[in-house]
Structure 1
Amino acid sequence: MAAILVNTRNITAPLTGVQRYTVEMLRELADEVAPAGPWLNLRGKLGHLWEQTVLPSKVYGRLLWSPGNTGPLAVRNQVVTVHDLAMFDQAQCYRDGFGHWYRWLMPRLVRRVRAVIVNSRFTRDRLLAMTEVEPSRVHVVHLGVCSHFRPDAGGAPKLPFRRYILCLGSLEPRKNLPRLLHAWQTISPSLDPDLGLVLAGGEGSRLIYPEQALPLPPRTCAIGRVPEAELPGLLANATAFAYPSLYEGFGLPPLEAMASGVPVLSSRAGALAETLGNAALLIDPKDVGAIAAGLRTITLDQSLRKSLQHRGFEQARRFQWRTCALATKAVFAHVLETQSSDVPVLDHHDPLAGRRPHTPDHGVPRAMLKVLDRRRAA
């Protein structure tokens, strides 16, 4: 029986950053972990109910890893990955019910579990400032960039523009799209008429995010959620990548753009300056004028474009999923080494403590690996 159980509730949702992280880690650690998720596609309240009430009964004395921001409070012998604290720092970007639940759960959970993994020093500092968790239990493990993001990734999907600036991410308030659209409307008449702005990404769940109006100015199109198989080509063929987000706990999309050989214009908010370093043109996301000037510069300044392409490619190479997996395994190993000496495996009141599963599980089943392959190629 695998010593580590993975809470896979989050991969029933559409593939975005948290889900990509979970999928890639399941692949890298396939021989060493066992997945545990609901059979049905449980979203929202039902998903959280399953996580808090059913998942604890599946642990059977093993270490539980919850890679998607939340986990069951009943299980102390747990490692949880916290990707950001946006529900605290950007509370206005979330619906009240969702925000209240996360703001109630997360401080209690991180104080209770054996270890916490975060994606950046920025998120670690914010977590320590907002909770009473012991600093030695919070570990920074950077994310990785998939190898299929590269300059020769193939052709782009059919678009109404010969050249385009790409903005990739969920269409939700934190991504700062109204200011980007305002800046584009201001600057686009002075740019190449064959250059357009492409917004790629699905709408954020209405259970999580408030509605926002996004009237599209001329030479702009929103193409919705892009199939995983088409995403590398879409990135590689972009003239530039724009990411004016108000808050990020890491910043995976601009790194993927860098790996694709595309110059990046990014906000410096949250962890973005830490993740991207000097390989992106950084701007104040709340300054529409700065965004507009950045769009002009990254489109017209050929010397800067070449420099950003070179620096961006080198920056992206620093982030590998294998490295992420090895660092994650090191956290697990440290927890397992100290497990028997100081923390009970389950709460003493858990009626299932000590029971064994009816069938053993050894790593991620082949059937799930096939599902993960389909998720990546869909």
Structure 2
Amino acid sequence: MRVALTLEQCWHRVPGGSATSILRLAEALVARDDVEVVGVAARHGEPPAPSFVPPVPVAHLPLPRLALYEAWHALRRPRVEAATGPVDLVHATAVAVPGSRAPLVVTVHDLAFRAEPGHATRHGLRFFRRGTELTRRHARLVLVPSEASARECEEAGIGRDRLRVVPWGVTPQVVTEAQRSDVRARHRLERPYVLFVGTVEPRKNLPRVVEAVAALDRPDVELVLVGAEGWNEDLGALLARLPGRVRALGFLPPDDLAPLYEEAAAVAYPSLREGFGLPVLEAMAQGAPVVTSAGTATEEVAGDAAVLVEPTSVDAIAAGLEGLLADPAAAASLGRRARDRAAGFTWARTAEQTVAAYREALT
């Protein structure tokens, strides 16, 4: 079958975990011999950042992104086929839902905007609501990365009979001692550190992470932040709460992340709401001890191989971190369990379940 895969997220200012998941899925689909994938995106004058270059040919429609998204959602045009030629199926990999004559499969990563509308801009809310409504009307199947996202979709009126849970995968990296030393030296990481990886935006819960680290009686431990500045958070004000003990590294390429995970005394990811929580799985795959949220999608990912805490409680986050920092042997044991659990999440499995959904949508 020939499938058109929307890849516009690769050009977003903050690609995030959704773009990473789409690229890894595309790579896994390319490795198969039962599906041909062509990407589709808006008009761009430049390629995406090197870390987000798609592994498949990309057909570009004539409109720039904002105009394309508006046209898709208001007019259902231009159709995907205007750029790709005939396709058997269109897979909208996010909530920008394209027009097409072919059957439609949509990936919904999460519907966080419904629970926390204040975390999105006015334009973002309108866009998300329209995309969700188009998904409800037109998608033959809706793929979600977790049961948490499946429940959100049901609450939004998408029947369970059209939902398929397709978890994301991870590719563990082999990290050498030289790479660990290089990353520490380049980023001047001389002390034990708690690592946070994620876009700086409200649902990632970074203010409570900062407060939790500040509450620890461990002046030798610093907080290392990795991720692009997003929206509705004042990063400067957050950093001021932890003077001399926080280092913001900004967005880093994937090759830097694996050694950072492995060198971390703990990884903190107590997000308020996630569709999946890819940094949790990436950290686990490198054997890092993780503190993450109970009662969210990240608990589905972590199972019993992470410290689960109430994400709205600074005391709970601090206690989770302190337990790992105070007992390195227990932290190492947790990291080994995490690595073992992460081994069950592969992109090949994600691709297998995705292709099964394609076939089902075409019957």
TM-score of the pair, normalised by structure 2: 0.84
Among 61, 64, 67, the alignment partner of 1:46 is 67
Other-structure match for 1:364? none
SS of match in other structure, 1:79: strand
Residues 1:147 and 2:200 are matched in the alignment: no
Write the deviation string for residues 163-200 of structure 1: whole angstroms up to 9, x where unpaired: 2110000011111111111111121xx22x43211011
Structure 2: state its 5+ residue gaps: 46-62
SS of match in other structure, 1:53: coil
Other-structure match for 2:10? 11
Letter in 1 for 2:259: G
Other-structure match for 1:24? 24
Which shifted more, 34-43 or 170-179? 34-43
Counterpart CA distance in 2 for 1:102 and 1:239 is 37
Other-structure match for 2:232? 210
Q: Give how far 1:293 is off.
A: 1.3
Contact map agreement 1:151 1:260 (CA 8 A) in 2: no
Q: Give how far 1:49 is off.
A: 3.1
Counterpart CA distance in 2 for 1:50 and 1:19 is 22
Other-structure match for 2:275? 249
* Greater relative contact order structure (CA < 8 Å, 6+ sep): 1
Residues 24-103 of structure 1 aligned to structure 2 (within 5 Å): 24-30=24-30, 32-40=36-44, 45-49=66-70, 51=72, 52-58=76-82, 60=86, 62-72=88-98, 77-103=103-129
Residues 1-378 of structure 1 aligned to structure 2 (within 5 Å): 3-13=2-12, 14-30=14-30, 32-40=36-44, 45-49=66-70, 51=72, 52-58=76-82, 60=86, 62-72=88-98, 77-131=103-157, 133-148=158-173, 154-155=179-180, 156=183, 157-187=186-216, 190-191=217-218, 193-204=219-230, 209-212=231-234, 213-216=237-240, 217-218=242-243, 219-336=245-362, 338=363
Write the deviation string for residues 68-106 of structure 1: whole angstroms up to 9, x where unpaired: 233125656110100111111222211122012212321
Counterpart CA distance in 1 for 2:25 and 2:87 is 22
Other-structure match for 1:354? none
Q: Give how far 1:242 is off.
A: 0.5
SS of match in other structure, 2:239: coil
Counterpart CA distance in 1 for 2:68 and 2:272 is 28
Q: Give how far 1:160 is off.
A: 4.2
Which shifted more, 49-58 or 193-202? 49-58
SS of match in other structure, 1:245: coil
Other-structure match for 1:361? none
Q: Give how far 1:283 is off.
A: 0.7
Counterpart CA distance in 1 for 2:198 and 2:208 is 15
Distance change >3 Å, CA 56–CA 40, structure 1 → 2: same
Q: Give how far 1:154 is off.
A: 2.7
Structure 1: state its 5+ residue gaps: 339-378
Contact map agreement 1:243 1:267 (CA 8 A) in 2: yes
Letter in 2 for 1:125: R
Q: Give how far 1:271 is off.
A: 0.8
SS of match in other structure, 2:249: strand
Distance change >3 Å, CA 214–CA 269, structure 1 → 2: farther
Letter in 2 for 1:4: V
Counterpart CA distance in 1 for 2:147 and 2:227 is 27
Letter in 2 for 1:181: V
SS of match in other structure, 2:238: coil
Q: Give how far 1:269 is off.
A: 4.2
Contact map agreement 2:200 2:233 (CA 8 A) in 1: no
Report the aligned-residue RMSD.
Answer: 2.2
Contact map agreement 2:92 2:107 (CA 8 A) in 1: yes
Which shifted more, 40-49 or 300-309? 40-49
Counterpart CA distance in 2 for 1:153 and 1:72 is 46
Contact map agreement 1:29 1:325 (CA 8 A) in 2: yes
Letter in 2 for 1:210: N
SS of match in other structure, 1:83: coil
Contact map agreement 1:151 1:259 (CA 8 A) in 2: no
Other-structure match for 2:53? none
Contact map agreement 2:77 2:99 (CA 8 A) in 1: no
Contact map agreement 1:36 1:55 (CA 8 A) in 2: no
